[in-house]
Structure 1
């Protein structure tokens, strides 16, 4: 742990392998695709940024507070989230803590502990952001923290650092935000008649109205009824209400995809009378954890049927034990970095849904995992057979250089490349998007270069695949072409 200032340098051949032959091929592949537009089809950036197009306030509010990768690491070393000024949105929370927090002191804390990020994806992303976006030539540390803070703030106030200007600077062709089923989509609606309508879209995430374990589930179904005019205590009325919200997202947010963050991949196909009985128990607050899980599983199957009807691509993100730290959840609310990957089974869990809809030509499901042990055993064989299934990229805890490489190594031989969908950054940290996509491009070029070097594919095939993994497959998978 030293505060001495080091040079901040980005080796042009980083992540390309220490093997010179592989590295040379990777460089050739990368040169052809490095400047392709960024397509970000799934993420959690704030839609107000693009509608209001206001300059970001300061380095802390932009680079620390929205990024649970960053404050999670700091918290793991004993730095309280209230010290970092993270807003307390939980039932016991106090929002005044956010208002009282000093952003300069928070930035100094990051700099004092920046050594913690060595070897982590956040370390790569932050270093690249500091170097390429802001032009720093010294690595962040205690000694230069305030120099960093003042210079970042100076640049953030410039016209070329508004969100829409950064969209052009970063060569982001399209970015998708993610909103809950009850969201008004006011920011998306506000840009509907502008040139940005085709570049900033939403995704429909109905967890707030399909997860009966949520503390706000009953209230949310009342709100859903008010929004749609449907009786959400009736099974058919409830499904019709969700259909109407999907259409609202298509019409007002240009949505092309849905997103489902369920604890497991369980699906079900129950008779209608059993569905109604299950809904009744959930609304009455009398459902067990197992019944709540069954309800979510039934809804995944119902939502797959809706995707066939309206064409929205279905993203399933299972396997996270959400809000594992109860105290953090109580005070700070959801999505504060205390989610933990959990063991996840897919073959039996998905069978009810796939038995009903898996062979339908109009269904597109993109399947993610936080359980890497399932790559070769379950996910690649499933995607390598069912025409409705594609594999999403290495996600969340695994969107690292090593994690991305493991994904390719364990899925390609069974599923191939064309049953995957390119890369998505899944981030709230807007300035890290170019760095995250660059890491994915470099790792894919490395993997392709290894196949060429081993005479498994030709260089011509590798160039085609590099383009597809960077740009072609994501456009096709998310119906963006």
Structure 2
């Protein structure tokens, strides 16, 4: 049976169709935050089969399979790739209403020209047809990106990474740019078991010992400079629970020394360290003209049993519900008070926080760039039709959607870029619906400017892409 994905998929009025087909459809893609493997881009990898490119590391699909009663051996276990693919194919008919259903069929159609519903019956021939095409040099990683008109890829990188792959990619003649993003979560997680060992890795990266907090900040500054020289435009922070606790540098120095000695820290001391360190990093980012992304309110590693078996990022995270307004305000203000707040994108995994983040962003705008502080796109569990519409409506209600920097994949999969198409269709339909309902004028020139800005131009300007 053919799929339901027509040219006018998700476009329910004439204005929406005009906006998508005439403006949004062919714009280049700026994917400013993802978890793609830069080494696979460097080697221009060809994937061996559909399961390898589709199921490896994709915890969205893993969660769907578990919810369908699939045994772990068919998800992350030792079953063959074909058996894992069949388990996914068996799951797909049960995912209607979940974006996985749309993403899966968009990816089959856009990458493989397979206009057929995936299920147990069609799985064998889809497997053969997709694998035959994957074997072609035209389906290498770089060609997958080029074919989807990707202009910019922002990977996620630990400060101790040598960025060798990024250095080599910068020398390549490619149609797109691959940029590192600075993700210092391990350096803020002073309460974690691995903190001291990460400081030791940082020592090796900078080539000098870190015996006190001043040396620690110097090492972080060293790595910020290192990343900046290699084209970094953004930092990224995963913040399970937002924090703010005032402290002097002397107090934080004592806290750091205690931790290096193996002493236990109080909750207040942990917050003091995180606050002072993140504010210091934010000031470094501001000096470099970087963007700071704050991903707030996930609840990580809920199943201890599965965490011990598989480790983190395996599909056992969910939505946190800790309140954030007061501490987030204080954190941003601590940087802004000295005019050192970088361009900042605020995301929460809990859609309950949408009004808070949209309103918070408005407190810290200035003339540096339109929408200097952004209410970021619908993230992770919110990356659905309803979630994206809710995020955009909230932004329009409380702020200026015209300055929105749009969509990102946050993905580990090289087949994830039709999610930009998904977002663009939803955006165009939302604007078109406002026109049809009499809430906005049918000024196509103005509306096309909105679409072009949100899908492309705003992000390009915000992340200084193409600037030297």
Asked if TM exceeds 0.5, the reply is yes
Deviation at 1:285, TM superposition (A): 4.5
Which residue number in structure 1 is paired with residue 382 of structure 2?
398
Distance 1:358 1:445 in 2: 35
Which residue number in structure 2 is paired with residue 40 of structure 1?
31
Which residue number in structure 1 is paired with residue 206 of structure 2?
228
Which of 368, 375, 383 aligns to 2:354? It is 375
Distance 2:329 2:362 in 1: 15
TM-score scaled to structure 2, two decimals? 0.92
Q: How does 1:336-375 map to 2 (within 5 A)?
A: 336-358=314-336, 360=339, 363-375=342-354
Q: Structure 1 residues 149 and 422, CA, compared in 2 at 3 Å: closer, same or farther?
A: same
User: Which runs of 5 or more structure 1 residues have no equivalent in the other structure?
Assistant: 1-5, 18-22, 87-96
Distance 2:173 2:247 in 1: 45
After superposition, the C-alpha distances for 1:320-367 in whole angstroms (9 at most, x for unaligned) are: 111111122112111111111111433211233332322627621111
Which residue number in structure 2 is paired with residue 240 of structure 1?
218
Q: 3-state DSSP class of the match of 1:349?
A: helix
Which residue number in structure 1 is paired with residue 69 of structure 2?
78
Distance 2:264 2:403 in 1: 41
Q: 3-state DSSP class of the match of 1:191?
A: helix
Kept in 1, the 8 Å contact 2:50–2:127? The answer is yes
Kept in 2, the 8 Å contact 1:367–1:392? The answer is yes
Kept in 2, the 8 Å contact 1:181–1:245? The answer is yes
1:279 and 2:256 equivalent? yes
Deviation at 1:214, TM superposition (A): 2.9
Q: 3-state DSSP class of the match of 1:113?
A: helix
1:260 and 2:255 equivalent? no
Deviation at 1:370, TM superposition (A): 1.1
Q: Structure 1 residues 61 and 285, CA, compared in 2 at 3 Å: closer, same or farther?
A: farther
After superposition, the C-alpha distances for 1:182-235 in whole angstroms (9 at most, x for unaligned) are: 222221122221123961111110112221233311101011112213443311
1:64 and 2:55 equivalent? yes
Which residue number in structure 2 is paired with residue 89 of structure 1?
none
User: Which runs of 5 or more structure 2 residues have no equivalent in the other structure?
Assistant: 366-371
Distance 1:467 1:341 in 2: 32
Once structures 1 and 2 are overlaid, which stretch shifts more, 356-365 or 45-54? 356-365
Kept in 1, the 8 Å contact 2:244–2:331? The answer is yes
Q: 3-state DSSP class of the match of 1:35?
A: coil
Q: How does 1:328-343 map to 2 (within 5 A)?
A: 328-343=306-321
TM-score scaled to structure 1, two decimals? 0.90
Q: How many residues align?
A: 455
Distance 2:300 2:228 in 1: 28
Kept in 2, the 8 Å contact 1:174–1:198? The answer is yes
Kept in 1, the 8 Å contact 2:3–2:117? The answer is yes
RMSD: 1.9
Q: How does 1:213-224 map to 2 (within 5 A)?
A: 213-224=191-202
Which residue number in structure 2 is paired with residue 471 of structure 1?
456
After superposition, the C-alpha distances for 1:123-144 in whole angstroms (9 at most, x for unaligned) are: 1111111122111132111112
Kept in 1, the 8 Å contact 2:244–2:271? The answer is no
Q: Structure 1 residues 442 and 116, CA, compared in 2 at 3 Å: closer, same or farther?
A: same
Distance 1:142 1:81 in 2: 19
Q: How does 1:20-419 map to 2 (within 5 A)?
A: 23-31=13-21, 32-84=23-75, 86=76, 100-196=78-174, 199-252=177-230, 254-283=231-260, 284-289=262-267, 291-358=269-336, 360=339, 363-376=342-355, 378-387=356-365, 388-419=372-403
Distance 1:321 1:149 in 2: 35
Q: 3-state DSSP class of the match of 1:367?
A: strand
Once structures 1 and 2 are overlaid, which stretch shifts more, 344-353 or 324-333? 344-353
Q: How does 1:439-454 map to 2 (within 5 A)?
A: 439-454=422-437
Which residue number in structure 1 is paired with residue 369 of structure 2?
none
Q: 3-state DSSP class of the match of 1:200?
A: strand
Q: Structure 1 residues 138 and 351, CA, compared in 2 at 3 Å: closer, same or farther?
A: closer
Kept in 2, the 8 Å contact 1:65–1:71? The answer is no
Distance 1:422 1:213 in 2: 34
Distance 2:218 2:176 in 1: 28
Which residue number in structure 1 is paired with residue 440 of structure 2?
457
After superposition, the C-alpha distances for 1:362-408 in whole angstroms (9 at most, x for unaligned) are: 621111111212222x1111112311521110111111111100111
Deviation at 1:101, TM superposition (A): 3.1
Which residue number in structure 2 is paired with residue 432 of structure 1?
416
Kept in 2, the 8 Å contact 1:391–1:419? The answer is no
